[in-house]
Amino acid sequence: MIHAERLEPGTRNRYQALMSSSNANPLLAPSTWNTPFQIPPFESIRSEHFSEALTLSMGKHLGELQSIGQNPDLPTFENTLIALENAGTWLETIVNIFSNLTSANTGPALQAVEAEFMPKLAAHASSLYLNAPLFQRINQLYQQRHTLKLATDELRLLERWHMDFVREGAKLQGNARKRFEEISIELANLCTQFSQNLQKDMAATTLTLTEREDLAGLPHGLLDAAQRKATSLGQSSAWVFQLNEPTVMEFVTYSERRELREKFWKLWRHRGENAGPHDNRPLIGQILALRLEQAKLLGFETYSDYAIATNMAKTPSAARDLLMKAWKPARLRALEERAEMTQLAVELGHGKLQIEEWDWNYYAEKIRQKKYQLDENEVRAFLPLPSMIQALFETAGRLFQLSFREIPNAPHYHPDVKTWEVLDSTGAHLGIFIGDYVARPSKRSGAWMSNYREQRGLAPHSARPIIVNCCNNSEPAAPGDPTLLGIDELRTLFHEFGHGLHGLLSQTRFPRLSGTNVLRDFVEFPSQILEHWALEPELLRQHARHYKTGEAIPDSLIKKIHEASKFNQGFATVEYTASALIDLDLHEQKSFDGFDPTEFEKAFNTRVEMPPAIKLRHRLPHFLHLFASSGYASQYYVYLWAGVLDADGFDAFREAGNPFAIEPARKLKTHIYEAGNTRDPMESYIAFRGRAPVVEPLLKQRGLSG
């Protein structure tokens, strides 16, 4: 893995001293990387190994950057941009392993290292972008870019690197430059604390029931998992429900005990804002104020202006305009949905209830069963996780001619993890795909795709990617049984796999432009379009089989699923769009003096006339997209923006009369999944679709048009 002769002298001495010890660091020792396809040697890695590895790799990277910046030759694309692309590969490897494990399999020791090193990594990033000699070389090339006869991807690389440096403060001077760097470090501290607070709060919070009458309506699988959890805690006569999304949603959908639905729902909705050491509320205003200060240092009036300036939307107003096109019809539909629930409650003898947040899933499921004869538990029985993974692979095979071969003895960081080699149409190695799908206390909430290694076609470090998908599906109902997915969980499985394919299929020369390194409001398009295949009847008939009997899913049940596809879309669109709107509202503020996140939420709900019984999908104290990093800050709108692209894009297959039509699949692969960020995303979309996107397919898909 690491070659001592390539290190700077000081770093080389520290590395050689470490390797001479009796306990060689597996992150550094070449022998431990003798794994299939150089998959990280997970079983050998301990939390304490990261401190030394991160320190050494940052030192090596600084030396590489210094060599580029102090090169006495005039700057060229090769000696500056190519050199920059090849710098830091060791650091990138260590950071990828570190950041993935802190998300997917953390613990107190790793969290301690994370708290120590996230500020150091932020300072290191600043040292890159505030490296004056390096930026001078890049800026000189940028000013000459139209005379350099660069290829399209080379020009794109130069422009993106120049943009990165400018947006990270490279043009700042004096105190402004110093303050920008200080803010970056402070934000890294606060965002790490926000994420850790939430993970600890959720891990420490459960709902314990001891009376059988309290279990009325709950599915057997959920009860079996709760009983096993109780047994593991020494509570043999109890049921312990963990605070993760699949468990909470299943509970509030089926529990006949309204007061318990309310209790568990409130535990879920108030995660991250419980008084004590894990309360995230004090952090929110600090994070927002620092972001605003940073944006102003760069000449922007608000953080939203800064965050969206380089996206497809360009301005906050363009993002808001799209959100409002969905908000208005969705809000009206949600009010109709709530009125229908109120009427159903009367019919069921529950009285004329004031439908609340904890009632919505319960009555929505009752209405779905009544109107469409569709029972989510009946569907789940036909969607075992192993079979749905095969449906993923079938989709990738038919669209993009990929095949997947499991590596049974691959290194792994948890027994739940599975690993596959991905092969292209010729049988050649394309990459590694890792699946980690079941919820556990050591994993953060949500679902995501990430890289252990990005695709890069640039010598001498050319490499195929190692991609991971993480989800938080419920544990199996009983030992030996598979995890069963609901319809939304199946869509999420396909969504993250779409991100994974974006990384796996990448065919770019430059790491900065590879895979998912695209504009934020384009990155969700390759993932969201793949969701359209999740419920494709042909796939379901082949792979959706009852987990006990092996019986194929009946056509009648597939028909019900599709008939109900527009059901509850008022609610789903409102809760998402509200979160995207409050994100814009937050980051368009020009002062955070005396900021109170709870009061801000209340005022927002009043201003937008939030429908009763619906709240933000993500309340501020647990809004990881916004506050665990700045990646989606003022950019949560991107899911709807990409929704326009994916709905319009999938129509290309409908127009061809076949969801696996060869020509649109070829264009999707070539112009979207393989292309990365080698050109403007609208150009890529038009090359795929033949025209610019239109919004009507999205509204029609959600039943919000007309």
The dihedral built from the CA positions of residue 39, 41, 43 and 46, taken in this order, carries a sign that is negative
Fold annotation for 281-374+569-636: Neurolysin; domain 3 (1.10.1370)
| 221, 331 Cβ separation under 8 angstroms | no
CATH code matching the domain that covers 385-557, chosen among 3.50.50.60, 1.10.287.1080, 3.20.140.10, 1.10.1370.40 = 1.10.1370.40
pLDDT (tens digit per residue) in 422-445: 999 999 999 999 999 999 999 998
CA-atom Rg of the chain in angstroms: 26
How is residue 375 written in tokens?
């029972």
| Residue 391 burial (C-beta neighbours within 10 Å; 0-12, 13-18, 19+) | buried
Of 422, 427, 383, 651, the residue nearest 539 (C-alpha): 383
Residue 6 has a pLDDT of 46
Of 135, 57, 124, the residue nearest 89 (C-alpha): 57
Residue 19 has a pLDDT of 46
Report the C-alpha gap between 244 and 473 in whole angstroms: 9
Residue 4 has a pLDDT of 45
Domains 4-129+131-167 and 281-374+569-636 share a fold: yes
How is residue 20 written in tokens?
């001479």
Annotation marks residue 496 as catalytic:
yes
The pairing of strands 448-453 and 466-473 is antiparallel
Report the C-alpha gap between 423 and 401 in whole angstroms: 9
CA angle 247, 218, 392 (to 5 degrees): 50
Report the C-alpha gap between 475 and 415 in whole angstroms: 13
Q: Which of 64, 154, 250, 496 is catalytic?
A: 496
- 492 CB-side CA count, 13 A: 18
CATH code matching the domain that covers 4-129+131-167, chosen among 2.60.40.1260, 2.40.50.100, 1.10.260.40, 1.10.1370.40 = 1.10.1370.40
Residue 23 has a pLDDT of 58
Domain ranges, ordered by start, for the chain: 4-129+131-167, 205-269, 281-374+569-636, 385-557
| 325, 695 Cβ separation under 8 angstroms | yes
The overall average pLDDT reported for the chain is 94
Amino acid identity of residue 294, one-letter, is Q
Can you list the residues of the chain whose pLDDT is less than 70? 1-23, 706
